[in-house]
Structure 1
Amino acid sequence: MERFILNDLLKWKNSNYRKPLILKGVRQVGKTWILKEFGKRYYENTAYFNFDENEEYKQFFETTKDVNRILQNLMMASEQKIIPEKTLIIFDEVQDCPNVINSMKYFCENAPQYHIACAGSLLGIALAKPSSFPVGKVNFMQIDPMTFTEFLLANGDRNLVEYLESVDSIEPIPDIFFNLLYEKLKMYYVTGGMPESVKMWTEARDIEAMQKALSDIIRAYERDFAKHPNVKEFPKISMIWKSIPSQLSRENKKFIYKVVKEGARAREYENALQWLVDARLVQKVYRSTAPGLPISAYDDLSAFKIYLVDVGLLRRLAQLAPTSFKEGNRLFTEFKGALSENYVLQTLITQFEVMPRYWTQTNPPYKVDFLIQRENDIFPVEVKSEANTSSKSLKKFKELFPDKVKLRIRFSLDNLKLDDDVLNIPLFMADQTNRIIGLALKQKYNV
């Protein structure tokens, strides 16, 4: 499988300012595989240390802070070779190893010639604790589920990827490409971007194995809920997790604690929800009151939506059968278009540095699904699950904020087009959003 994060890892390797790397990502997203593949491609050898399989390795970090002594002990214990500048050292499953994480300070200060990458499930939880890591002494990188573009490559559709990347003007996609990409996107909604699920489909075309892979991942996540330090939070985390399909099937999708449990209040469940956010199992999108900069200054912290880490996992958690793939647009329209919103958010997160927000108004009700910040501009985004769509909320948003809106963006099953300042992007082109916005701005404003 081709993962674009390899390009970022190569930049890290070649940087004059390289520090020990902490690679974050949820369980089963491919952290270990990508680091081993990176080592195989770009280093003479890889030295791999798993602190879950070999707990005795932790002792080497408890007795000394001398990195040369630590590495010497690791080499002798594992019979692996470590050569400065030529070996990628991988420390895996470090989430329960604070001494290992803290040692990165000494590797950074005293031994920059060693290339070290750390990974582990629930690292976001570990790093949320006070003094878990030395500030300023590590680089961070996030690995997310496979994008639709990466799915196409894994599926052998390089020609479609090359076509999408060649689009250099805002004009309709020819039917032959449009229809093919539309069908491929439906399959991506079924498999999602978790590598094991993608592999079961792209290599074996085995729906049953793909379903089992997703179920196993969900069960692994649910076992992780029990790792919360406060045992009382475990059932709360589980209830929030299982409520996500119901939350997203609501018309405005605002997270409501009463959907989790009748009579539930924020103060009882907010720690459990924050655990899921820190673990990156869910994405939390705040309501914004206005399209101002910085976008965080306009957050309404009392109103937010939550989405799952992956569209395929959401489909499986919602128990929507893969056979819906054959039923026209059902995958796009099922439970108020939640799969499409989840998919669009997934791809926006990988392209824009600032987490998207959303906007609503009541009396009369209007909602803009996402606000994205691109450089110093904010763009309203609406996600539609059908073709021939109208955008009343986008129209209202422009009426309220006429000087703040250069483009209004709509994702739908319509073709690529720019209608005045409304840019329609086909859902299968969501991975190209940043670049397509640039083309549209150039076409409309010549910038």
Structure 2
Amino acid sequence: MKRFMYDTLLKWKDRGNRKPMIIEGIRQCGKTWILKHFGEAEFKDVAYFNFEYDDRLQNIFEGDLNASRIIKDLGILRNKSIQPGTTILILDEIQICPRAITSLKYFCENLPELHVAAAGSLLGVAIAQMGKNVSFPVGKVQMQKMYPLNFPEFLLAKDEELLYEYLNNLSRDEAVSAAFTGKLEEAYREYLITGGLPEVVSSWVHNHDIGLVETIQSEILGSYEKDFVKYASRSEFPKLTLIWNAIPAQLAKDNHKFIFSHVKKGLRARDLEDSLQWLISAGLIYKVEKIERPSIPVTTYADITFFKIYFSDVGLLRRMSKFPADVVFDTSSLTADMRGILTENFVLTELVARDFQRPFFWKSGGIAEVDYIIQEGVDVVPIEVKSAKRTRSRSFTEYRKKFRPRIAVRTSRNTIARHSDEYGEVLEIPLYLIWKMKAYF
């Protein structure tokens, strides 16, 4: 399975001032697989250790954090020495052992010739909870986020490498050939059903069995809830579960605004804020805050009390919402709201995976609303999301008239186009090309 993270790891491997690498991301997004695959392809030896499965590992890090002593002890544990330059040391589920996280500072300072890579599913939570006796090695590690497969990676997983290369090499003013739009529309529909978690995608590509896809998605959702039990405090666990299960219903409301009191009657923001932040730190959900004034820097104009919550994977949102796969592209008014929610979630995950700065949304007067606002350099770009081909939007027009952005984006199931008027330029971009949006600026 082709993952773009491989290219990032290659650059890291050959960097002269290399630091230990930490890959963080949700469980089942492919962190372990990519590190093992990369290690086996690029090194003579892979020393792989998993803190979740081997309790002996924590003992090695309980003493001093001398890097040479640690690799000697790890070598004894696996009955094979670890050789800098030819071995890659992989420390998986490192969040379980905070002192192992701290030790990366000493690997950086005292043993830089050894390639050290770590991965963790709940690193954000672990870092926030690190006590006084341990510290995060700020400035001594390279942090890298990993996400579920985005749409171009999904195409590659479907063995559509030529189609991906064709899209990737499209010039700024070149339209997608009509010969390929049907295939791309179908792939996009499949992605809304499966999402981008590798096990789900692999099952779909090899079996094309919706029932099996949904079984795997349910198992993954169950594993996340088991993590609530395992890593959250006893008092926090029930609140995490309440928030997690409430997200689809919160998105189904007219304005999608997350309202704490709707999670459970009698609970308020102060009761649930810490638990919500736990889910955000774990990478399971994304928080999109409102702005009313799209000035630079956009982050300073966010209203932290008015926000929406989306899932880190659109397939899991569909499954958790119990939205049938066979109506994902249905045109019935009965399915319109959920199709719109899935489309918004898809666009958000594509933006996040392509390293766009933190997205916001714009709302004014309780009526006009634009789905996403991003800052790209000196441009503040509004993005209107449409799940179908009908793209007329009064809010989008109102925003452009009021703020006159240099470029505004509307993404839908229509083909790519550009047009300009007295309010600026509008880029019409298909949903299946939103990952290429930067190329059109």
Same fold (TM over 0.5): yes
Residue number in structure 1 paired with 2:430: 426
SS at match of 1:390: coil
Specify the code of the residue in structure 2 equivalent to 1:57: L
Q: Partners in 1 of 2:94 and 2:79 — Cα distance?
A: 20
Distance across 2 between alignment mates of 1:76 and 1:304: 51
Q: Secondary structure at the match of 1:26?
A: coil
Deviation, structure 1 residue 230: 2.8
Specify the SS of the correspondent of 1:293.
coil
**For each residue in 1:364-401, what CA deviation from the matched residue of structure 2 results, as whole angstroms up to 9, or x when unmatched?**
x1001111111221100110111131122122112222
For residues 205-249 of structure 1, what are the alpha-carbon distances to aligned partners after superposition, in whole Å with 9 as ceiling and x for unaligned?
222221111111000001111235431221111111111111111
The reply on whether 1:61 has 2:61 as its aligned counterpart is yes
Tell me the equivalent position of 2:138. Answer: 135
> Shift of the alpha carbon at 1:192?
0.4
Map of 1:70 onto structure 2: 70
SS at match of 1:418: strand
- Equivalent of residue 312 in structure 1, options 311, 315, 319: 315
Superposed CA RMSD in Å reads 1.7
Q: Which of residues 368, 393, 396 in structure 2 aligns to 1:394?
A: 396
Please state if 1:144 is matched with 2:126.
no
Residue 286 of structure 1, CA deviation:
1.1
Corresponding residue for residue 445 of structure 1 = none
**Counterpart check, 1:49 vs 2:52:** no
1:350 partner amino acid: A
Following superposition, the deviation at residue 336 of structure 1 comes to 5.8
Work out whether residues 28 and 199 of structure 2, in 8 Å CA contact, stay in contact via their aligned partners in 1: yes
The C-alpha deviation readout for 1:238-275, integer Å capped at 9, x for no partner, is: 11111111111122211111321223311011111001
Q: Superposition pairs for residues 206-225 of structure 1, below 5 Å? A: 206-225=209-228
Alignment of 1:367-386 (within 5 A): 367-386=369-388
> SS of the counterpart of 1:117?
strand
Residue equivalent to 1:227: 230
**Residue ranges of structure 1 left out of the alignment (5+ in a row):** 439-447
* Residue pair 1:94, 1:120 contacting (<8 A) in 2 also: yes
- The 5-angstrom pairing of residues 149-168 of structure 1 reads 149-168=152-171
Q: Secondary structure at the match of 1:264?
A: coil
Of 252-261 and 411-420, more deviation after overlay is shown by 252-261
**1:329 positional shift:** 7.9
Q: Is the 8 A contact 1:332 1:339 kept in 2?
A: no
Q: Which moved more, 1:163-172 or 1:27-36?
A: 163-172
User: For residue 416 of structure 1, what is the aligned residue in structure 2?
Assistant: 416
Q: Is the 8 A contact 2:409 2:426 kept in 1?
A: yes
Distance 1:148 1:63 in 2: 45
- Contact 1:172/1:416 (8 A) holds in 2: yes
The equivalences for 1:253-402 within 5 A come to 253-325=256-328, 327=330, 333-335=336-338, 337-362=340-365, 365-402=367-404
Q: Which amino acid aligns with 1:287?
A: K
Opposite residue 126 of structure 2, the aligned amino acid is A
Q: Deviations over 1:19-61 (max 9, x none)?
A: 1111100111111000001111211221101112111121111
Worse overlay, 185-194 or 316-325: 316-325
Count of aligned residue pairs for this structure pair? 434
**Letter paired with 1:429:** L
- Do the aligned partners of 1:51 and 1:58 also contact (CA within 8 Å) in 2? yes
Amino acid at match of 1:222: E
| 1:174 Cα deviation after fit | 2.8
Identity of aligned residues (%): 41
In the TM superposition, residue 202 of structure 1 has moved relative to its aligned partner by 0.5
Does the CA contact (< 8 Å) of 2:243 and 2:263 recur in 1?
yes
Residues 194 and 201, structure 2, Cα contact 8 Å, conserved in 1: yes
After superposition, the Cα gap between the structure-2 partners of 1:40 and 1:256, relative to the gap in structure 1 and judged at 3 Å, is same
SS at match of 1:27: coil
Instruction: Determine the C-alpha separation between the residues in 2 that align with 1:332 and 1:343.
Output: 17
Q: Which residue of 1 aligns with 2:439?
A: 435
**What secondary structure does 1:12 align onto?**
helix
Q: For each residue in 1:158-183, what CA deviation from the matched residue of structure 2 results, as whole angstroms up to 9, or x when unmatched? A: 22212211221335433221121011
1:111/1:329 CA distance change after superposition, 3 Å: farther
Q: Is the 8 A contact 1:19 1:112 kept in 2?
A: yes
User: TM-score by structure 1 length?
Assistant: 0.93
What SS class does the counterpart of residue 257 from structure 2 fall into?
coil
Select between 286-295 and 4-13 the one with higher mean Cα deviation. Answer: 286-295
The alpha-carbon deviation at position 127 of structure 1 amounts to 1.4
What TM-score does the superposition give when structure 2 sets the normalisation length? 0.95
Gaps of 5+ in 2: none
The answer as to whether partners of 2:389 and 2:414 remain within 8 angstroms in 1 is: yes
Q: Is the 8 Å Cα contact of residues 257 and 307 (structure 2) preserved in structure 1? A: yes
Amino acid in the other structure paired with 2:397 = K
1:211–1:316 contact (8 Å) kept in structure 2: yes
User: Residue 102 of structure 1: CA displacement?
Assistant: 0.7
Alpha-carbon distance in structure 2 between the residues aligned to 1:337 and 1:80: 54
State the alpha-carbon separation in 2 of the partners of residues 341 and 217 from structure 1. 22
Do 2:127 and 2:136's aligned partners in 1 also have CA atoms closer than 8 Å?
yes
CA distance in 2, matches of 1:248, 1:298: 23
2:167 & 2:235 partners in 1: Cα distance? 49
Measure the CA separation in 2 of the matches of 1:326 and 1:247. Answer: 22
**Structure 1 residues 203 and 336: CA distance shift in structure 2, 3 A:** closer
In 1, are the aligned partners of 2:31 and 2:119 still within 8 Å (CA)?
A: yes
- Displacement of 1:129 after TM fit? 2.6
Letter of the 1:70 counterpart: I
Instruction: Note if 1:181 corresponds to 2:191.
Output: no
Change over 3 Å in CA distance of 1:5–1:284 after alignment to 2: same
Rounded to whole Å, the distance in 2 between the matches of 1:330 and 1:19 is 53
Distance 2:18 2:238 in 1: 41
Shift of 1:332: 8.4
Q: Does structure 2 retain, via aligned residues, the 8 Å contact 1:324–1:331?
A: no
Q: Does 1:23 pair with 2:23?
A: yes
